[in-house]
Structure 1
Amino acid sequence: MNVPFTPRPRTNARKKNLTLSAKEYNKVSSTIASVRRNRERLDGDDEYATRRDHEPSFIAEESFVRAPLNSRVSGLVQPSPKAKGKERAERLDTLPLEVQEALILEDLLFVLMGIEGTHITFHDDYSPQDDDPLEGVKFVVDRSLDPSLRDLAERVLPLATYYTAITAFIEQRAHSDYGLVNHALCARMRDMLRDYQTLLAQLEHAFSSSSSFSLQKLWFYVHPTVHTLALLYHLTLALAHADDAPEDEGGSQSSEDDDLAARDAALGLTPLNPNIFSASATSAPVPVKGGEVLSILHARAQSLSGDPAARSLYSALLTAAGKPYVDIVRGWTRKGRLDDPYEEVCVKEARFITRGTLDMDYTDEYWERRYTLRDGSTASLDRRSQTPSAGIPPPRAQSGKLPGGACVPPALEAWKHKILLAGKYLNVIRECGIDIARPDSPVEDERRPRNVRGEAREEEEFGLDSAVFLRGLEADYAFANTTLLARLLAPGPGGLLARLRALRRYLFLAHAPFLPHFLELAQSELRRPARAASIGRLQSLLELALNADAHGDDAEVKGDLKIVLAGSALTDFLIKIVQEKGDIAHTNDGAVSEAGGEKGKEKEKLTALDALSLDFAVPFPLSLVVSRKTVLRYQLIFRFLLHLKSLEQSLSTMWLDHKSSAWRVLPSHASPDFEKWRRRVALLRLRMLAFVQQLLAYVTSEVVEPNWRRFEERLGKVGTVDALLRDHVDFLDTCSKECMMTSDAKLLKAHGRLVTVCQTFVLYSAPFTKAATLAMAPDGESSDAIRKRWDTLGRFEIHFDRWFDEYLGCVQLNASRENVALLPLVLRLHSIKRPVAATNSQ
């Protein structure tokens, strides 16, 4: 049997944070009003009788029962047990004006504290259970009151609404979920309400002691307070409704979701994953706190800047509410510690990212994502590698502002990036175990307030727009930047410049005589498949070659060089990046131990030489500059140069083979075309060697060296850490671009095929020598052997010419469109292009 579905009434979520429930609040108010109305005048001399007649719930509240206002209430007839509801008060129009005024004055003094009176009662539409307490309690005056007195009383009544709403707001926002900024704001509001309560106490004393106290005097005394409480009231409404969703979206959607969930529960249907269609499951609503509170305060202060009272009030509230925000920001920019338990400031920390991620971090998460801005904006200088930050809350539906700490106060909008960077710099220094010995700022010392003896006071309440605070932020940023920059650029073998020079020598192969020695020692191991090669044996041979290449400046960094084997061929890896329109920074050319899957067969063909690369370990904090992302760029350029160097060495070795008698002596019985065949083989070898040497000369002499000199000059003039990071990344990106490693896939494919043809031609060195030796034998060679050696040479010539022409065309196209730095390479390649006459003679 199906259970009928009954929609549940909507409840107001704000009431759950009140100290008292609505029912308890109504009960207390009713009890107080009942005691005040039904209390008989007691004789002050008979204290025992007085205590005996008091209700038990108010025995401990002598101050309330004996209050002057309570003593003026005349004894009323007790209601009969049969009476229902409130006792019907006597009509005021039957009483003299003096009595009406006294009764209304008495009620007003209660109503101004939020307590219902006898002749001033709650509005008929008001319900403590249903109405939002942050809207305030509405009161109405008995219509039988004299019109002139009623007009004055109704002028005073908004104070009661303001007071009850502000009090409810303070009680709600005192909860820990609303953060320190709300707590400071509520504390300042509570101080203002204390002045209001003091005023009411003075008015109560005047009412009980002065016979000349009138309603007109009451209005005279409270009139200035009406404007102040009205400003506070409208501020609380703005803060309370800042997170409200539009009625046509949020209210209907939430009610439909609740009804749907209740219907499914009644029918016994439970969704497999209730979070799939729940928006609250994916992103919990962010309360109005932190920077959003300060932004709303600032907006109201700007909109009412023509009102001196409003400007003064909101300035005081903004200063008081901003003090926790300022303290958190100053702790971050001066000490590198982010103490933000309620996520109120514009900087957030990803605690799961630690220094341990630097060893395998190919996206620079430690530097770029451990500390970020909550609004997702970035001052990163490598903008091409930036992706939208995760965890950014959606903006408010009504105001369009980001919620909570993601909303940056307008006064700090222009400073948020410096705030982020200053703390990040100091945090790096702290991670190094270095104490931050920061001298006091002379500007702040001069501006610090002093007492009557001229001594500087310890504390000063800095406003968000305070000139002293903003100058302090600038000084904090300058100090943090200078300190970290001096740490990074410290001279000596362990400094950044020494590490960069070592990278240039070993990974860019500048003045690196160890490489030919290493290739010769590891020749047999490098010919093996990448999966079968021994990294330990290759590492030992590398250390042997490095020790033979003694260089005093690099003695300490040679131990940081390690052999690694990439998981894919260089050309395939670069084509994948270009085709996916990605970035080198976000692609991990993983080690062979992590390879696997669909490309297993291709990796079986990958030799150790094709997969060979060098890794370079850099200690913290230098690893922020020479990060895994930048090391990957160095590795790609190293592999590009390594293939060319290895191919140049192989072609030179082939030239040594061609110096034997089989290639230099022409016997009389040799076939007529034998000499022509040998010349064609030698010419093809020379063209391949020229291609490799010209490309090597272009990369080393016209790309790496000029860019390195410019980069080294910029290092001497760098002024900030971010400029250092930018210059380093720009240097590597420029080298990659001018080396054609980030060009179109067609150019990369032509380059890869051209290198493959050259490598395969080197492998045919022995068969060619064998064919030449056979041709010089006295018996000669058969026609099939002659045709075979000519066919083999012809295929090499056809493939080399085809891919060389395609490669040259791609280089020319790129040089004319986007990369003018390739023009010198175009001139070099034209020198080895096969003449048309020679092609036609074949």
Structure 2
Amino acid sequence: MQENINITFPPQNNNTNNNNNGSTTKNINDGGLIGSGFQSLPCASDLLPSLMKKSVNRRVVTNPQDAVSAGDNIFNFFPFNNDTTPVIIPAVAKPNYVEIPEELLTRDIIYVFQGIDGNYIKFNKDINMFLIDDHATLNNHPIYISKPKRDLISRLCEFGWLFRKITNFINNTQFKESGLTNKSLCLAINDELIELYRLIAILESQINKSIKVSSPIKANNNNSNGILTAHFHTGNSNVVTAHIPATSSTPQQSNIINNNESNGYNESNLTLRRMFVWCQEPLQKLKLLGTLVDAINTETMKGGEILSVIESLSKHGDIDQRQMTFSMLCKVSQPLFNIIKIWIFKGEIQDPYKEFFIKENPKVALEKVWREKFTIVARLIPKFISTTTCKRIAVVGKSINYMKQFCERDVIHQIDMEAIQSKSVPLGYHNIEFLDEIIDQVSKQSSQRLLKIVINEFKFMEHCRALKKYLLLGQGDFIQYLMDLVAEDLLQPVQKVMRHKLVGWMETAIRNSNVQFDKPEFVNRLDISLLQDRPGSIGWDIFSLDYHVDTPLNTILSVNDIVRYKKIFHFLWGVKRVEYSLNSVWRKMRSSNNTLRLFNAYIATEIHQSHLIMNEMIHFISNFQYYIMFEVFECCWKNLENAVQHEAMDLDQLIDSHHQYLHDICTKIFLSNSESCYECFKKLLSIIIKFVTLQNNLILLSNALNNSSPQQEQQALLSKELLNYKNHLHRLYQDYTSTLFKFQHEISLLKINQDLNPISLSYMLDFNEYYLNKHLSSKDK
């Protein structure tokens, strides 16, 4: 049992009645430790050690009573006598200080709950927190609040601090006027605050009910002007009378209770502790709203960014928090879903504040309408809409917009009628799980219709087939006839190559080949284009066929696609030129067989060897062309047809299928996947052209020798020329065999490292392993 402790204080210079020996004695056990039991103590510094300075928000406060913030330890521990158990002693009132009654503090807390200043608790903007105004007075007396009450007030002020932050956010006019989503967010937050307004009203009504209503005709307590009178005990036991005006909100009600009246503030009244209990559940809601407000950058965030922040807060184990964020998302996301609905049904973007995740570029060129007019802004995509769904939404709206821009009026009317029938489909966050189903339903009415229009009316596949026939050399008779006509002109330097003459040759080739039976709408698109020349170039290096595509087809077959076709044509044209040169030199050697016999005495072996080399080169070119035309082109074309007929569900997938078609061609003919293979192949073509030139020179020399009888000087010159021929032929054949083996080796590596499947080309080029054995035998030597 704890012993009674009596503390004696020196007398004070006041009107308090003292005992006979001039001292005041107070039994601590009689008065208790908390409340008015210590109000008669003269000074806290007489009992307690000097208080430590406290830092509040990096602000050093010399008076510990200044700090009001949640979590501060407001108790001091001081052991009495030899007892090891510390006794909790509250802050003690100083002389002439008046302790504010709790009913006045509860009234102030009601103001704080609304984020405004009370009479004794005010907001400090410098440190961004509510503080008790210790400079305030009550009837010209300084105020005093015990530390337990200060701690409780600090915890209650958290409610008001959050409320003030949130109301400042929703009252930010610049933020609200910068987007429909921003306005919806502020309205949704305000709807959540309505419940808090009800709580504040209930608390205030409880305060009003618990306060003793004094009659204004009582002369002892009130005057005729509605002034309420109350009596307070000061720190030195004096009784102070306070005159407080009655407020309009609580007419004829006094917030001050006479200490001597038995019907004053009782246990059933609303206290700070009861207010603290009442506000715990709403405080959790305010904390959630405060977290949301802190996470939103009012200067940069809008649209889907804000929705993503709210959606991230819904990933929580608290059911109440999930329900609250769900309710807010349903309200805040409604402007976004309204924009989506107009977009997928009408193909229009009604987004004055640029908060939709699809951006419109009105100044884009006509041929780039499909690809660049509408772009997706990734940062504005809300987290609850997947990237795949976002792309599908973009395609559906683009399809309707594209049809309205390029299709006939009856098609547009039919689209509008289908959109009107589909507008009854509900769309919002409350049924977000059905968003994909709604997109599927609308896609069948827009994307599929546009796909059919492109294939049937725009004749997409027929244009691709024409490109395959002309630029990919699929029409063999036309290409061969054209090459026969332009071969002599293309041997000249680029300065002497005339485009109009080449166009004339092309028209002649069209009239003399099966191309003349093709539809004019495709044949008339053929043209000749000359590529950029380089120093030392001839006509073969700059010649190319061209295919003109106009609106609206050029939005699908873009300029870049035609450039890739021309790149493939240039490569194939080079291969065709080598084949044409080899065939020409073979015919010349056969026709010059009699004249070449004049060299039998000098180079009979080399002439025979040249025939063998020429046959090897023809074998290589023929098999490579077979690989390109059948293993590459036909297989890729079959894949394109399957993709267009069975796999493509919208125009984007159709375009992707065509891009994949061109990519596969470029990859399998070594234009875009292996630089080493391409370089080896170019070197092989160069060696073959050199061989053709060497053979042509030999034929010219034999014809010159046949037409004139050689003199003695000419015999010496002839011997020198034939010796050079031997040396060149030997070096060319060595380069050819080594380069061909390297090319085959690069193909085998390519087959292992990538899924290109050029295995058939390897077998065709060296089906009996002749070159492999030859290479191994040369290494052994």
Q: TM-score, normalised on structure 1?
A: 0.62
Q: 2:742 aligns with which of 799, 803, 809?
A: 809
Q: SS state of the match for residue 474, structure 2?
A: coil
Q: 1:501 aligns with which of 432, 450, 465?
A: 465
Q: Summarize the Cα distance change of 1:540–1:209 in structure 2 as closer, same or farther, 3 Å threshold.
A: farther
Deviation, structure 1 residue 496: 0.9
Pairing 1:694–2:705 present: no
Q: Summarize the Cα distance change of 1:105–1:483 in structure 2 as closer, same or farther, 3 Å threshold.
A: same
Deviation, structure 1 residue 159: 4.3
**CA deviations over 1:270-293 (Å, ceiling 9, x no partner):** xxxxxxxxxxxxxxx962332232
CA contact under 8 A between 1:530 and 1:604: conserved in structure 2?
no
CA contact under 8 A between 1:741 and 1:748: conserved in structure 2?
yes
Q: Summarize the Cα distance change of 1:412–1:211 in structure 2 as closer, same or farther, 3 Å threshold.
A: farther
Deviation, structure 1 residue 689: 3.0
Distance 2:160 2:759 in 1: 83
Q: 2:403 aligns with which of 406, 415, 429?
A: 429
Structure of greater relative contact order (alpha carbons < 8 Å, 6+ residues apart): 1
Determine the structure 2 residue equivalent to 1:311.
322
Q: Which moved more, 1:822-831 or 1:139-148?
A: 139-148
1:367-406 mapped onto 2 (5 Å cutoff): 367=371, 371-375=374-378, 405-406=379-380
Deviation, structure 1 residue 122: 0.9
Q: 2:670 aligns with which of 721, 740, 762?
A: 740
CA contact under 8 A between 2:400 and 2:446: conserved in structure 1?
yes
Determine the structure 1 residue equivalent to 2:294.
240
Amino acid at match of 2:460: L
1:98-117 mapped onto 2 (5 Å cutoff): 101=103, 103-104=104-105, 107-108=108-109, 110-117=111-118
Determine the structure 2 residue equivalent to 1:730.
660
Provide the alpha-carbon RMSD of the alignment. Answer: 4.2
CA contact under 8 A between 1:521 and 1:541: conserved in structure 2?
yes
Q: SS state of the match for residue 562, structure 1?
A: strand
Distance 1:671 1:196 in 2: 113
1:671-682 mapped onto 2 (5 Å cutoff): 672-673=601-602, 676=605, 678-682=607-611
Amino acid at match of 2:729: F
1:63-462 mapped onto 2 (5 Å cutoff): 93=99, 101=103, 103-104=104-105, 107-108=108-109, 110-118=111-119, 120-122=120-122, 126-127=124-125, 130-131=126-127, 144=144, 157-172=157-172, 174-175=174-175, 178-193=178-193, 196-197=196-197, 203=204, 208=250, 216=269, 227-228=281-282, 230-241=284-295, 287-303=300-316, 305-308=317-320, 310-349=321-360, 353-356=364-367, 367=371, 371-375=374-378, 405-406=379-380, 408-412=382-386, 415-432=389-406, 435=412, 436-437=415-416, 439=418, 445=424, 462=428
CA contact under 8 A between 2:114 and 2:163: conserved in structure 1?
yes
Distance 1:234 1:766 in 2: 89
Q: SS state of the match for residue 563, structure 1?
A: strand
Deviation, structure 1 residue 552: 4.3
The runs of 5 or more residues in structure 2 that have no matched partner are 1-95, 137-142, 210-248, 256-264
Q: SS state of the match for residue 122, structure 1?
A: strand
Pairing 1:565–2:535 present: no
Distance 2:640 2:524 in 1: 26
CA contact under 8 A between 1:488 and 1:621: conserved in structure 2?
no
1:480-629 mapped onto 2 (5 Å cutoff): 480-490=446-456, 494-549=458-513, 550-567=515-532, 592=533, 603-629=534-560
Distance 2:150 2:625 in 1: 99
Distance 1:224 1:413 in 2: 44
Deviation, structure 1 residue 193: 4.0
Determine the structure 2 residue equivalent to 1:754.
684
Determine the structure 2 residue equivalent to 1:825.
761
Q: SS state of the match for residue 564, structure 1?
A: strand
Deviation, structure 1 residue 498: 0.3
Q: Summarize the Cα distance change of 1:562–1:511 in structure 2 as closer, same or farther, 3 Å threshold.
A: closer
Amino acid at match of 2:250: S
Amino acid at match of 1:559: N
- Of structures 1 and 2, the larger Rg is shown by 2
CA contact under 8 A between 2:691 and 2:732: conserved in structure 1?
no
Q: 1:471 aligns with which of 437, 447, 453?
A: 437
Determine the structure 2 residue equivalent to 1:42.
none
Q: SS state of the match for residue 809, structure 1?
A: helix
Q: Summarize the Cα distance change of 1:334–1:808 in structure 2 as closer, same or farther, 3 Å threshold.
A: farther
Q: SS state of the match for residue 740, structure 1?
A: coil
Determine the structure 2 residue equivalent to 1:641.
572
Q: SS state of the match for residue 720, structure 1?
A: coil
**CA deviations over 1:191-223 (Å, ceiling 9, x no partner):** 444565577678579863797999946988997
Amino acid at match of 2:571: F
CA contact under 8 A between 1:747 and 1:807: conserved in structure 2?
no
Q: SS state of the match for residue 614, structure 1?
A: strand
Q: Summarize the Cα distance change of 1:566–1:778 in structure 2 as closer, same or farther, 3 Å threshold.
A: closer
Distance 2:319 2:356 in 1: 30
Higher share in strand: 2
Determine the structure 2 residue equivalent to 1:259.
none
Amino acid at match of 2:312: A
CA contact under 8 A between 2:116 and 2:122: conserved in structure 1?
no
CA contact under 8 A between 1:412 and 1:464: conserved in structure 2?
no
Pairing 1:788–2:767 present: no
What percentage of aligned pairs have identical amino acids?
19
Deviation, structure 1 residue 337: 3.2
Distance 1:717 1:741 in 2: 29
Q: How many residue pairs end up in the alignment?
A: 606
Amino acid at match of 2:162: Y
CA contact under 8 A between 1:235 and 1:297: conserved in structure 2?
no
Amino acid at match of 2:558: S
Distance 1:475 1:216 in 2: 62
Distance 1:799 1:736 in 2: 29
**CA deviations over 1:768-799 (Å, ceiling 9, x no partner):** 23322344467356143034134225413421
Distance 1:784 1:355 in 2: 67
Determine the structure 2 residue equivalent to 1:656.
587
Deviation, structure 1 residue 354: 3.5
CA contact under 8 A between 1:444 and 1:472: conserved in structure 2?
no
Amino acid at match of 2:293: L
Deviation, structure 1 residue 323: 1.2
Deviation, structure 1 residue 318: 1.4
Distance 2:291 2:622 in 1: 76
**CA deviations over 1:582-610 (Å, ceiling 9, x no partner):** xxxxxxxxxx5xxxxxxxxxx12111212
Distance 1:665 1:154 in 2: 116
Q: Summarize the Cα distance change of 1:720–1:784 in structure 2 as closer, same or farther, 3 Å threshold.
A: same
Q: SS state of the match for residue 324, structure 1?
A: helix
Q: SS state of the match for residue 508, structure 1?
A: coil
Distance 1:444 1:437 in 2: 11
CA contact under 8 A between 1:750 and 1:804: conserved in structure 2?
no
Amino acid at match of 2:491: R
Pairing 1:707–2:707 present: no
Q: Summarize the Cα distance change of 1:711–1:313 in structure 2 as closer, same or farther, 3 Å threshold.
A: closer
CA contact under 8 A between 2:527 and 2:546: conserved in structure 1?
yes
Distance 1:557 1:564 in 2: 17
Deviation, structure 1 residue 505: 0.3
Q: Summarize the Cα distance change of 1:355–1:666 in structure 2 as closer, same or farther, 3 Å threshold.
A: closer
